[in-house]
Amino acid sequence: QVQLVQSGAEVKKPGASVKVSCKASGYTFTSYGISWVRQAPGQGLEWMGWISAYNGNTNYAQKLQGRVTMTTDTSTSTAYMELRSLRSDDTAVYYCAREPSLNYWGQGTLVTVSS
């Protein structure tokens, strides 16, 4: 069965960086892209970007351009999302989700940005 298992919760100070991992199993990793979606406390879902697990091509949300980098490690079937220059409004649960059309989701990783 398809599973996406994410890394644990993080607490970061403003200006720091965070890197969240998403380990995939139950399918051929390079056959599907991964999207990252975040959800601020009590808010809706926000798409952050997408990476092809086949060739590493990416497509980022305009508002995060320059602060976000998505990568994959095909040897371990793991996708990563790094967000830099963290601000308090980056506090959210971060999800990875598999294509097509986000049919499988990870359990979420809470990232708290606080001084």
Does residue number 27 form part of the binding site for other proteins (CB under 8 A)?
no
- CA 99 to centroid of chain Cα atoms: 13
Cα atoms in the Cβ-side hemisphere of radius 13 Å centred on 26: 9
Q: What is the CA radius of gyration of the chain?
A: 13
Q: Which is nearer to other proteins, 80 or 106 (CB)?
A: 106
Of the candidate residues 50, 53, 81, 113, the single one contacting other proteins (CB under 8 A): 50
Cα atoms in the Cβ-side hemisphere of radius 13 Å centred on 6: 24
Q: Which stretch binds other proteins (CB under 8 A): 10-18, 69-77, 81-89, 104-112?
A: 104-112
Does residue number 112 form part of the binding site for other proteins (CB under 8 A)?
no
Residues that bind other proteins (CB under 8 A): 35, 37, 44-47, 50, 59, 61-62, 95, 97, 100-103, 105-108
